[in-house]
């Protein structure tokens, strides 16, 4: 964070397949937040299909000062968003005022390690089924960000945010301006996907100033800052939108 000029980070969890692993990560993140309350916030992770154990973890997350839940991914963690256990978990998350971030993969393009088929209609369904739930869809929602212009889903999409994680691996830098043109300037959150080992790429970045063997956040920040966005749009995406959504207090 210091090397890249990042003042505050919001740690994201992983979509673990066992609730015990989720609990282990949550305990670690709670320790991180306690050690650096002015620099680190975090999302807890749960496996909703674990039933009561997952619900207990959601309640602990609220008590421990987590900002939300995520990343979650039903197709890896078991079940579907429409399953009673998932609906109950999402309803409780809304009651606890926890934002929920879902992993979403793009529907077209080349295959890559970790890519899975996520169903876009599932996220629309859970947003409609849990109207008080605030949702973030990772990776520009796998392209769902552009459906914000669809009149049939615009109302429900008003409760959905999108992050930019992994965008240098998937999209041209024009994606930021295109998303803003779709009306999500106040719904777009910078996500670094740190420490994704495949970024920065030697072929796409200038020589000098980078340790190619160590993943870092600076290259992604440089890309978005060089994408032609206005200072006000950059301020919203890099800080303001997340601060408003998560109730974070930012310094000067």
Q: Tell me, what's the pLDDT at 6?
A: 92
Please give the radius of gyration of the chain, using alpha carbons only, rounded to the nearest integer.
18
In this structure, CATH architecture of domain 9-246: Alpha-Beta Barrel (3.20)
Query: What residue segments make up the domains of the chain, in order of their start?
Result: 9-246
Alpha-carbon separation of residue 146 from 41, 99, 162, 182, 213 (angstroms):
29, 21, 11, 6, 35
Q: What is the pLDDT of residues 162-221, one digit of tens each?
A: 999 988 878 889 999 999 999 899 999 999 888 775 555 554 544 545 455 666 788 889
Higher pLDDT, 212 or 244: 244
> Strand 99-102's sheet: what is its strand order?
9-11, 40-44, 68-72, 99-102, 135-137, 160-163, 188-189
User: In degrees to the nearest 10, what's the CA dihedral of 183, 174, 14, 159?
Assistant: 0
What is d(CA 66, CA 43) in angstroms, rounded to the nearest whole number?
Answer: 5
More confident residue, 162 or 156: 162
């Amino acid at each position: 964070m210091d090397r890249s000029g990042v003042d505050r980070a919001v740690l994201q969890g992983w979509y673990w397949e066992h609730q015990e692993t989720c609990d282990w990560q949550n305990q670690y993140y709670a320790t991180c937040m306690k050690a650096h309350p002015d620099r680190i916030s975090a999302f807890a992770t749960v496996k909703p299909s674990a039933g009561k154990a997952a619900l207990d973890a959601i309640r602990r997350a609220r008590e421990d000062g987590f900002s939300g839940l995520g990343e979650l991914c039903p197709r890896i963690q078991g079940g579907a968003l429409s399953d009673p256990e998932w609906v109950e978990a999402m309803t409780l998350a809304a009651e606890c005022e926890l934002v929920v971030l879902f992993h979403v993969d793009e529907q077209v393009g080349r295959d890559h390690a970790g890519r899975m088929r996520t169903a876009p209609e599932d996220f629309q369904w859970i947003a409609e089924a849990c109207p008080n739930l605030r949702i973030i869809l990772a990776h520009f929602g796998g392209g769902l960000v552009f459906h914000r212009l669809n009149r049939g889903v615009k109302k429900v999409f008003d409760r959905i945010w999108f992050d930019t994680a992994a965008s240098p691996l998937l999209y041209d830098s024009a994606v930021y301006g295109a998303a803003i043109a779709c009306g999500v300037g106040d719904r777009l959150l910078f996500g670094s996907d740190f420490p994704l080992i495949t970024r920065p790429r030697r072929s796409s970045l200038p020589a000098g100033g980078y340790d190619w063997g160590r993943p870092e956040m600076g290259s992604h920040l440089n890309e978005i800052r060089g994408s032609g966005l206005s200072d006000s749009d950059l301020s919203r995406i890099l800080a303001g939108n997340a601060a408003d959504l998560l109730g974070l207090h930012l310094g000067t």
